[in-house]
Structure formats: structure tokens, C-alpha cells
Amino acid sequence: MNTARPMRRRTYLGGMATAALSAALPAVPDRSARAQTPIVLKLATADTMQDTSYKVGERFGQEIARRTDGRYSVQMYVNGALGSTVNLASSLQTGIIDCAILTSGFLESFAPSVQVIDLPFVFKDAPTAERLLDGELGRRLFAEMETKGIKGLAWGWYGWRQLETRDRAVTTPDDMRGLKIRIQPGPVFAAMFRAVGAVPIALDGSEVYLALSQQTVGGVDFPMPTSVTFKMYEVTKYLALTQHVYNAGALMVSKARWEQLSEADRTAFQEAATGLLPYWRATIGKASEDAETFLRAHGMQVTTVDFKAFHEKMDPVYSQFSPKYPDLFKMIMAEHA
């Protein structure tokens, strides 16, 4: 009796049952897929989602993902979501957050040499500031920051700091006398406003609107794009185009995170940050122009100032701070020759 055909049929039916059983069972996760789950990096900024710093952070994250084949992704935290700006700097030092974009005024407290780039009127124009910050000056500032737990990647820009006031137009230093003005916590900012007779009060950016509304302060020195996103036109009436500080910003990585990266990934992070600079600076330049138009249209009265009078009032500030960092100061002053 020939039994070959029944055997083949049992084998075929057995194969069908095995296939059906396999289809019914949940798939076993592929280990190689698990290995590709990106490491999520926390990137914080004190600004809003409408600010250029948010757009820069997003682009940085996209570039990091592209350059590392998806091994890293960036999650953005804005507008004080992870604490005040001072807290963000501390969290970056300790590695609680991985990356941050902050203005120079909030870096002075733990990297004092940064004070030199916040000196009033120290940069004669934006191209000069960019050239110096991209060169030896910027590298030396970042070197000090690295000893404090922060790896600086690139010096960007927030726009020239201007003066916004509630109830007085400012054209000369005398107009500043007695004015309570919100400042960043850096000592240079306190010194420059005391030099014109104002009363500096350090507040986080998130507190400025309320402070102006309640008349706790009568003015602030925001760059114009920040004035728009923080709605300063609702609580101030006058805009003085002082351009007293270039207002650099830094894109940084916690040194704790940096030391975990391979050399290839470090290169990817650095190149991603450097590659963003033209976009960052051009976007801020355009945003500043648009912001002035917007602020005028929303009722702010714009004044120009007596620059010579303001410069002369800054002599005590230079006498106080420039001797602390003579080599860095000379680098900048050489551009004025």
C-alpha cells in the first residue's frame, strides 16, 4: 500500500497549523530595532515658541538626528517650563538638562569672563561681534565655561538690546535718572544702569510683564524681537534705540552629556551648531526689522538717543570691568582702531 501521499498531506496540514499559530502570536521585538530607539535630549530656553531661539533649537535637533542616523533626538522646553533662566544654567552644569540656549547675561555668574562681551557699546557693529565670537575671543570664553561643567558649541545672537519704558521717553542719560529698570542678573548690567542714575532690579524674563503692569519696574532693556514675543507693547509706551549691548546667546551642551558622546557624535553636534549660525543671525536681523515696524504700529513711540552722552557715562563701567580681563578686552578694542 502506498503511504507517501497521506504523509505529504499530514506534513502540509501541520505546516498550515504552524503558520496560523505563528500569525496569532505577538511578534517578538527585533533587538536591532530596539537599539535604534533614539536617546532623547532635553534642550531648554527661557524664551517662547515664537522666539528665534526655539526655531534654532528645533533645527539643531533635526541636524543632530540627521547627522547621527537617528541615535539622538531633541525635546524642546520653553518659557520657564524647567525653571527660571538662572535655574536652567545650573541644571545645565549639573547635567539635569542636556542642552540650552541662553543669553550671555545669565552666563556671567558662573563664567565671569563673559562679562567682557556685555560691556556697553563694546562692539562697534554686528559683523565685528560675529567675527570675534567665532574666533579666539569666543573660544576663550567657552574654555572658561567648560571648567564649570558646560560645553559651548556656538555663539549666536538675540538682537541689539534696546530700552523700553512705561512713562518716559529716553534720549539722554538724564532721562534715566531714578528709573527702576529690570535687568538680567549679570553685574555688568547693574553697573551700566547705575552709571546713568537708574535703579536696576534683577528679574527673570517671565516676570517682566507683570512687573511692568504693576509698576514694580518702569522699564526693561529687551531686544526688539523679544519685546514683541513678550508683548512689551501692552505695558510700555516708549522705545529708545540705544543698541547698548550686542546680546550674544550661546548654544551649549552639558559637559556630563558631552563626555558620554563618541568622537564622531561630538563632531556631529559641533558641526550642527556651527552650521546654524548663518540662519540664527540672519533670522534675528530680519526679526529685529520686523519687530520695530510692529512695535511702531502698536503704538510705541520710538526715539533715537545721544550716543556720545551715553558713551561718556560708561567710563566707570569700563574702569571697573576691563582690568579683570585685559587680554579679552584688548581683542575687542583692537577692532575699534
The count of C-alpha atoms lying within 13 angstroms of the C-alpha of 335, restricted to the half-sphere facing its C-beta, is 18
Residue-level pLDDT at 35: 52
Is 34's pLDDT higher than 50?
no
Closest listed residue to residue 220, CA positions, set 179, 251, 256: 179
CA dist 242 and 54 (Å) reads: 26
37-158+248-293 and 161-246+299-336 have identical folds: yes
Q: What is the pLDDT of residues 70-83, one digit of tens each?
A: 999 999 999 878 87
Is 267's pLDDT higher than 50?
yes
Residue-level pLDDT at 66: 96
Is 308's pLDDT higher than 90?
yes
CA dihedral over 81, 84, 88, 93, signed as positive or negative: negative
Write out the DSSP string of 197-244: T-EEEE--GGGHHHHHHTTS-SEE--BHHHHHHTTGGGT--EEEEEEE
Calculate mean pLDDT across residues 85-104: 92
Is 257's pLDDT higher than 90?
yes
Residue ranges of the domains in the chain?
37-158+248-293, 161-246+299-336
CA dist 117 and 131 (Å) reads: 13
CA dist 328 and 331 (Å) reads: 5
Q: What is the pLDDT of residues 119-178, one digit of tens each?
A: 999 999 999 999 999 999 999 999 999 999 999 999 999 999 999 999 999 999 999 999
Is 27's pLDDT higher than 60?
no
Cβ(206)–Cβ(80) under 8 Å?
yes
- The separation between CA 304 and the C-alpha centre of its own chain, rounded to angstroms, equals 28
Classify 37-158+248-293 by CATH class: alpha beta
Is 84's pLDDT higher than 90?
no
Residue-level pLDDT at 24: 42
The CATH code of the domain at 161-246+299-336 is: 3.40.190.170
Residue-level pLDDT at 173: 97
Q: Which H or E run contains 294?
A: helix 263-297
For the chain, give the longest Cα–Cα distance. 118
Calculate mean pLDDT across residues 24-45: 66
Residue-level pLDDT at 18: 40
Is 313's pLDDT higher than 90?
yes
Q: Mean pLDDT across the chain, nearest whole number?
A: 90
Is 262's pLDDT higher than 80?
yes
Task: Point out which residues pair with 174 in neighbouring strands.
Answer: none
Calculate mean pLDDT across residues 98-120: 94
CB burial class (10 A; 0-12, 13-18, 19+) of residue 218? Answer: buried
Residue-level pLDDT at 151: 98
Vertex 174: Cα angle to 169 and 176 (nearest 5): 55
Is 100's pLDDT higher than 50?
yes
Residue 67's CB is within 10 A of a number of other CB atoms, namely 18
Residue-level pLDDT at 16: 36
**In this predicted model, which residue has the larger pLDDT, 2 or 177?**
177
User: What predicted TM-score, i.e. pTM, was given to this entire model?
Assistant: 0.86
Write out the DSSP string of 91-106: HHHHTSSSEEEEEGGG
Phi/psi at 202 (5° precision):
-80, 125
Is 8's pLDDT higher than 70?
no
Calculate mean pLDDT across residues 310-319: 96
